[in-house]
Structure 1
């Protein structure tokens, strides 16, 4: 029911569910994917909150308020970090998170955020790490040579889950594409009154969130909503033909078209906003029941993983790099796959 419910939120020609009993399962799925704040905000913006049951409204509001306080703390931490980078002459671009919520959802509290991601020039990484550590963030373990970010964390008041920060120098793993990160810097623009802090262009923001969703196997409805919201906000500003040329050059075209295929198949009204030029029925692999109730460690989950990494890399050599890392993981990846003790679960956004 959640897919149909989200369809009715974005395609207002579709009515909200009339059966009051349906909202119990819808609410369970909303909470499973941590979408309460977004659904609450969309219903309020559309003036349709009163069309839902009272218990549904109350639960969404409770969750929204929790996200509001959490995101406010993260927003203040982000500003502190960006101000510190600005003072130290470190160029930086905030990715996703608070900035994305404010720009594409209308308010910093309209999208649940649990961490801070910032793009840093590789030559500035050591200087940026020193700044982060001076702000009392602790380094989170080792970083494998092929990875593309460093992780840090700090306890959040009244929260069992610490605030994580990832400093990126790239967006994809080494040798998994030909993506040139410099293009993201070249097309960025100054953020507010900053000199060294930038914001991604609209095209590169959209490109990034599509790649991010693919990287996570589109295993949450939050990745769908990020892409759908961006399409609604940007409308025809995204030239798909031009974007696909960029992706072809970066060897990420299959990843991009696969992700958009899945999103457009589940939410066909998007074709009326910005249509895709290829056959969207040819690459259907995503299934809601699998991500909601399936086991990624099952035989079916393993087969899907193999299928994705055989068919959705533009070059065979990139698939082979993945399989090499899969069958011969380094110490870092073994620790993450089989941790010595139960850790908090960090939800990447």
Structure 2
């Protein structure tokens, strides 16, 4: 039902549900995926809010207002950070978040935002970190040597969850592709009112959000809506042949085509906006029921992990590097997962590894047990 509802938001040939009782389950799914602000904004823009039940409208409006206040605070924080970078001659490109909301959804509050992501040139990272720390953001743990960003946090007034900011020098982990981040800088343009602050080109924005959805296994409808909305806004400006040529050079082609195959398969009206030059029935691995109700520790969850990281890297060596890191994390990753205790500080890393592998084997045992039960049920 929820997929059909999203289809009706973007394809006017699909009417909104007529049965008021359907909106109860739709609302549950909207809240599960944190899409209240986006659905509210789309219905308002289309003038179709009155076609939905009153209780549905009221709940969306209440949650939209909460997102509005939250995003307003983040918007102000983003401006403060960008102004600080500009004053210190630090080149920066905001990723996703508030700027993406304004450019592709029409308003900063039309999409729930929880953090700030900014691309920084690697040579400017230390300078940028000092600026962030002067703005009272604290470093959030150690970072892995093969990772691509540093994380910081700051307490938000009246919120139990701190505002997170990530300073990126890349978009993907090292040795997981041949992506050249310089191309993103080369084709960026100055953001209005700034000299050093840039905005991603349209094609690189689309490229980025597709890769971002893939990294998360397309495990939320919000990744679908980000891609759908961008296709609607950019229309034929996205040249798939040129984009796939770029992805082939970056060794991200399988990731890109797999992600878009899933999106186009679920939302076939997109073909009328910008035709997708791949067989859309060739990789139907995605299942709504699984991401909404499935157990990610199940056998199917393991199969999806294998599928994504073994078959959707362009080069086999990138798959092997992923599995090596997955099975043998470095000390900084263990420390972040299991922070050392004061009582057992001397053996904290060792204890962290014990907890890590205990959880891994417990998950594997659950998956195998689940598989055995399912096999017995067949007979």
Q: TM-score, normalised by structure 1?
A: 0.96
- Aligned: 1:277 with 2:283: no
CA pair 317-185 structure 1, distance change in 2 beyond 3 A: same
CA distance in structure 1 between the aligned counterparts of 2:271 and 2:334, rounded to whole angstroms: 42
- Aligned: 1:125 with 2:125: yes
Which structure 2 residues correspond to residues 206-221 of structure 1 after superposition, within 5 A? 206-221=206-221
- 1:306 maps to which residue? 306
User: Could you give the per-residue CA deviations for residues 164-219 of structure 1, whole angstroms, max 9, x where no partner exists?
Assistant: 00000000000000000000000000000100000000000000000000000000
Which structure 2 residues correspond to residues 98-177 of structure 1 after superposition, within 5 A? 98-177=98-177
CA pair 114-340 structure 1, distance change in 2 beyond 3 A: farther
- 2:236 maps to which residue? 236
SS of the residue 2:277 aligns to: coil
User: Could you give the per-residue CA deviations for residues 314-340 of structure 1, whole angstroms, max 9, x where no partner exists?
Assistant: 000000000101111123333555678
SS of the residue 1:326 aligns to: helix
- 2:87 maps to which residue? 87
Q: TM-score, normalised by structure 2?
A: 0.89
CA distance in structure 2 between the aligned counterparts of 1:239 and 1:292, rounded to whole angstroms: 32
- 2:178 maps to which residue? 178
User: Could you give the per-residue CA deviations for residues 87-134 of structure 1, whole angstroms, max 9, x where no partner exists?
Assistant: 000000000000000000000000000000000000000000000000
Cα RMSD for the two superposed structures? 1.1
CA distance in structure 1 between the aligned counterparts of 2:276 and 2:69, rounded to whole angstroms: 39
- 1:187 maps to which residue? 187
Instruction: Please state how far the C-alpha of 1:295 moved relative to its aligned partner.
Output: 1.4
- 2:350 maps to which residue? none
CA pair 335-2 structure 1, distance change in 2 beyond 3 A: farther
- 2:355 maps to which residue? none
User: Could you give the per-residue CA deviations for residues 284-324 of structure 1, whole angstroms, max 9, x where no partner exists?
Assistant: 11100111111112221011101111110000000000010
Pick which of 120-129 and 330-339 moved more.
330-339
- 2:374 maps to which residue? none
Residues 142 and 335 in structure 2, CA contact (< 8 A), matched pair in contact too: no
- 1:255 maps to which residue? 255
- 1:345 maps to which residue? none
CA distance in structure 2 between the aligned counterparts of 1:48 and 1:32, rounded to whole angstroms: 22
- 2:321 maps to which residue? 321
- Aligned: 1:288 with 2:272: no
Aligned length, in residue pairs: 341
CA pair 67-216 structure 1, distance change in 2 beyond 3 A: same
- Aligned: 1:25 with 2:28: no
In structure 1, runs of 5+ residues without a counterpart are: 342-349
User: Could you give the per-residue CA deviations for residues 265-287 of structure 1, whole angstroms, max 9, x where no partner exists?
Assistant: 00000000001111111011110
SS of the residue 1:150 aligns to: strand
Residues 177 and 251 in structure 2, CA contact (< 8 A), matched pair in contact too: yes
- 1:344 maps to which residue? none
Point out the structure with max Rg over C-alpha.
2
- 1:200 maps to which residue? 200
SS of the residue 1:268 aligns to: coil
